[in-house]
Structure 1
Amino acid sequence: MEAFLTSTLVVALAEIGDKTQLLAIVLAARFRRPIPIIAGILIATLANHCLAALVGERASFLLDGDWFRYIVAGTFILMAGWTLIPDTLEEKDQKIGSMGAFASTLISFFLVEMGDKTQLATITLGAQFKSVLWVTAGTTLGMMIANVPAVLLGQKIIDKVPLALVRAIAAAMFAIIGVWLFIKTMT
């Protein structure tokens, strides 16, 4: 249960202001069909994060030892710094094409999430908890918590939520987890 709850919290916070959240807003504005967009986000995230959690879990078995736990802790601290840097959705990322809402969302979310901070967090969580199922379930729920409101409320959220404050809180959470892992590994 710790893997599920931690994964949900980490990704929900990391996703605020992330380029995939911005993509959700762009898709919602373009298609104005929330159900296919939400379904596309869900399936793309399940596929992407399942693979990421699996990579993390397998890497943890290959790299078992205190030194690897220090790397995982350091990764969380690096994620804290990365979270403070605002994402933008570049012009090249906005090309959606002539596909429908579901297909456009599925493909673009899967691809934009590659190498993204939430995917790297999922790999790290998979390595820490060694549970593909609970990490995937948690990170996917975290993505949905952050992105469903973006699809449904879009620009209204951006206008009202102070993203700098949310990024600072998310960064603090990553830093706390990293420090906690360092301390836990030292004892």
Structure 2
Amino acid sequence: MALIIKTLLLVVVAEMGDKTQLLAMAMAGKYKIKQVLLGVFAATIFNHALAVAVGSYLNSIIPMGIVKVVAGVLFLIFGLWTLRGDKIDDECEKKNRFGPVATVALAFFLAEMGDKTQLMTITISAQNAHPIFILMGSTAGMLIADGIGILGGAWMCRNIPEIYIKWIAGTVFIFFGSVSIYNYTSSLSFIYMILYFLVLGVLIYLFGIKFSYNNRACSRILSHENNKEHKLQNMGNALPSRQIKK
């Protein structure tokens, strides 16, 4: 149970502001929320089952000490990735040859390939020997994060600066990554630790400030929300004119 909760929380943190969350929000502007979440669920099951299988295989062939050090490095990468932010290509939103659920599932599956939530699921699976629990936690985490984005994304963007969300999530990953690395390199000298934090500080500046996608997520969310409001206003304005004609 603890592994399910851990995986769920880490996936929720990783998914906030991620391109797949943005994609789910974009799809919610076209299809019913139930259809979007069903498509997300189907895509996540297949995508993260693949990730869990890869992680479990790595667990069986690589010594655990190496796995944990690599996992620490990957968590640092996830943290920097989160600080930089993410975006989605408009092409991802145009895959509409199938029904709503299939369209969302296909677009989401392709967008999730190589994404940090999939890579993180691989990392967690490589560290643990309970693939079913990890799949349950990662799937639930994706649904919760994307549900939060779809239902409360506009409210969050209007009331909580996007940069706060990014920095809190990024700091969580950087902290866990640093602790994991320290547990297996604590015998190194103090000079190496100083060098580590200097390099980490430079990377945080580059990814979190210099090359960050500032306000990309919120601008897209609010844009879709404004489009919805305009459509509703237009429908409301059209009703009286139709009644008059009758």
TM > 0.5: yes
Q: Is the 2:39–2:101 contact (alpha carbons within 8 Å) kept by the matching residues of 1?
A: yes
Q: Is the 1:28–1:154 contact (alpha carbons within 8 Å) kept by the matching residues of 2?
A: no
Given the superposition, is the C-alpha separation of residues 178 and 97 from structure 1 closer, same or farther in structure 2, using an over 3 Å criterion?
same
Q: What residue in structure 2 maps to residue 3 of structure 1?
A: 3
Q: What residue in structure 2 maps to residue 66 of structure 1?
A: 65
Alignment identity in percent? Answer: 32
Q: Is the 1:29–1:154 contact (alpha carbons within 8 Å) kept by the matching residues of 2?
A: no
Q: Is the 2:64–2:127 contact (alpha carbons within 8 Å) kept by the matching residues of 1?
A: no
How high is the TM-score relative to the length of structure 1? 0.91
Q: What residue in structure 2 maps to residue 21 of structure 1?
A: 21
CA deviation after TM superposition for structure 1 residue 141, in Å: 1.3
Q: C-alpha distance in 2, partners of 1:40/1:73?
A: 32
Greater CA drift, 46-55 or 154-163 = 154-163
Q: C-alpha distance in 2, partners of 1:160/1:99?
A: 36
Q: What residue in structure 1 maps to residue 43 of structure 2?
A: 44
CA deviation after TM superposition for structure 1 residue 47, in Å: 1.3
Given the superposition, is the C-alpha separation of residues 165 and 154 from structure 1 closer, same or farther in structure 2, using an over 3 Å criterion?
closer
Q: What residue in structure 1 maps to residue 30 of structure 2?
A: 30
2:138 paired with 1:166: no
Given the superposition, is the C-alpha separation of residues 153 and 99 from structure 1 closer, same or farther in structure 2, using an over 3 Å criterion?
farther
Q: Is the 2:49–2:135 contact (alpha carbons within 8 Å) kept by the matching residues of 1?
A: yes
Tell me the alpha carbon deviations over residues 18-54 of structure 1, each in whole angstroms, 9 at most, x when there is no partner: 11111111111012x1111111111111111111011
CA deviation after TM superposition for structure 1 residue 77, in Å: 1.2
Amino acid of the structure 2 residue aligned with 1:11: V
Q: What residue in structure 1 maps to residue 148 of structure 2?
A: 149
Q: What residue in structure 1 maps to residue 103 of structure 2?
A: 104
Given the superposition, is the C-alpha separation of residues 38 and 64 from structure 1 closer, same or farther in structure 2, using an over 3 Å criterion?
same
Structure 2 unmatched runs, 5+: 187-246
Q: Is the 1:16–1:163 contact (alpha carbons within 8 Å) kept by the matching residues of 2?
A: no
Amino acid of the structure 1 residue aligned with 2:83: L
2:77 paired with 1:78: yes
Greater CA drift, 161-170 or 5-14 = 161-170
Determine which structure has more spread, i.e. the larger CA radius of gyration.
Answer: 2
Greater CA drift, 111-120 or 129-138 = 129-138
Tell me the alpha carbon deviations over residues 76-116 of structure 1, each in whole angstroms, 9 at most, x when there is no partner: 11111111111111122221223222111111111110000
Given the superposition, is the C-alpha separation of residues 8 and 179 from structure 1 closer, same or farther in structure 2, using an over 3 Å criterion?
same
Q: C-alpha distance in 2, partners of 1:144/1:67?
A: 31
Q: Is the 2:67–2:126 contact (alpha carbons within 8 Å) kept by the matching residues of 1?
A: no
Q: C-alpha distance in 2, partners of 1:106/1:158?
A: 26
Amino acid of the structure 2 residue aligned with 1:45: T
Corresponding pairs, count: 186
CA deviation after TM superposition for structure 1 residue 177, in Å: 1.6
